[in-house]
Chains A and B, each alone.
Chain A
Amino acid sequence: MQVTASNKPASDDHILKLLRSDKTFERGFRLLISTYKERLYWHIRRMVMVHEDADDVLQNTFIKVYRGVLQFEGKSKLYTWLYRIATNESITFLQSRARRGSNSIDSNDEIWASRLKADSWFDGDALQQQLRDAIAQLPEKQRVVFNLRYYEEMPYEEMSTILETSVGALKASFHHAAKKIEHFFREADHL
């Protein structure tokens, strides 16, 4: 969490107050970026996996936030709204990449595998690399649920407001994702 000059975390209320005035809008937006950049980056990075792609998606997310933050009505928490935008941007990116892959001579899996290998900002061991490959094979929605639960340890209730899906459906989604990953490792003789 970003710490302000007064040594207190920047609250959503304070950020929104700054954003609502023309004079302090830019300061508020800079505070929003510094408060949420890391959390949103890691959320996006685990979705799209490659750093360059995560950088593009994160910047698009902030541009959308910049353009739309005045329409934010405060019905949900600010970070819930930010996560929703970041998630949608990530899914849109993955879907467009899948479409590009389907038009190519090489299969989507081959392109994706070579892209993951070329990512110089990943230095995990063999098991971590396999876990990343297994997650990469999950459908987009299952990938979101798995990442939010497994890496960010987000409660289902909170996830439900971000993804606008029932808690029961999210639990089922996580269960299926975990089983698929376990199956992936079993086939690779790690279990």
Chain B
Amino acid sequence: MKNEDRLHDELNEQAPFLNTLKQGQDGYQVPANYFDNLEAEVFRQLDAIGATRKPRPATARPSFWQFMQQLWQPRVALAFAGLITIALAAWWYFAPSQTDASADLMAAQISVDDAEAYLMDNLMELEPEHIAMVLPEESLPAITLDLPSPQKEKNNPAIELQLSPDDLENLLQDMTDEELKDLML
């Protein structure tokens, strides 16, 4: 059964007078063009209360030139220059000073004789490895080397040289001035 017919029956059963009244108009009217203007009025209200949704602009990636233009804006350039200044100052302050030892020796005006005398007086203080490092290669076979076994090397990786004080004295006697200077460093 259709809904309209069901309502008709329902009203006939409950309130027949209302069924009779329903045949005519209800008397309500609206101003002319009311519905035509409604949409604009709703949007005017939405604007007035600031509720209108603004479509989000498309977020395009800036081109290389746009990026460069942004970079060279005074604010950005100033910040960039400041950073570079701070980095240079930090490098200058913290960089290790590399002094040339031989230059220091020359600046101290120490003669070769003085250096030789110093080394002779402090012969026993010198490490054999240091002396071996400045020796000419041809003199090395004459020195008895106690080469470490693989196991020993594992425990003490430093190569040990066994030189007697006489050997050392002879070696120093044979050294050139330049070699002595290197030994002093």
Chain A positions near chain B (C-beta within 8 angstroms) = 22-23, 25-26, 30, 33-34, 37-38, 41-42, 45-46, 51, 55, 58-59, 62-63, 66-67, 121-125, 127-129, 131-132, 149-151, 153, 155, 174-175, 178-179, 181-182, 185, 190-191
- Determine whether B141 belongs to the interface, using a CB cutoff of 8 Å to chain A: no
Instruction: Point out the residue from A46, A121, A182 that lies within 8 Å of B30, measured CB to CB.
Output: A121
Determine which of B11, B30, B42 lies in contact with A62 in the assembled complex, contact meaning CB atoms within 8 Å: B42
Q: Are B15 and A179 in contact (CB under 8 A)?
A: yes
User: Is B14's CB under 8 angstroms from A45's CB?
Assistant: no
19 pairs from A and B in contact (CB 8 Å cutoff): A22-B56, A25-B55, A26-B53, A26-B55, A37-B39, A38-B35, A42-B28, A46-B26, A51-B30, A63-B45, A66-B51, A121-B28, A124-B27, A124-B28, A128-B25, A150-B18, A175-B14, A178-B11, A178-B18
Contacts of B24 in A (CB 8 A): 128
A130 and B37 CA atoms in complex are apart in Å by: 31
**Which residues of chain A are near B3, meaning CB under 8 Å?**
153, 155
- Would you call B29 and A122 a contact (CB within 8 A)? yes
What CA separation (Å) do A125 and B4 show in the bound complex?
A: 25
Q: Mark B35-54, 1 if CB is under 8 A from A, else 0.
A: 10011011001100101010
Min C-beta distance of B136 to chain A, whole Å:
85
Distance of A92 from chain B, by nearest CB (Å): 17
Known contacts A123-B29, A129-B27; can you find 15 more A-B pairs with CB under 8 A? A33-B39, A46-B26, A46-B28, A59-B41, A59-B45, A66-B51, A67-B51, A122-B28, A123-B27, A124-B28, A131-B21, A153-B3, A174-B10, A185-B17, A190-B17
Q: Closest residue to A23 on the B side, CB-wise?
A: B55
Which A-chain residue is minimally distant from B24 (CB atoms)?
Answer: A128
B76 contacts chain A at the CB level, 8 A cutoff: no
In the assembled complex, the CB of B19 is this many whole angstroms from the nearest CB of chain A, namely 10
B7 within 8 A of A: yes
B31 at interface by CB-CB < 8 Å:
yes
Q: Is B61 part of the contact surface with A, judged by Cβ < 8 Å?
A: no
Q: Quote the shortest CB–CB distance from B113 to chain A (angstroms).
A: 92
B154 touches A (CB below 8 Å)? no
CB distance from B42 to the nearest CB of A (A): 5
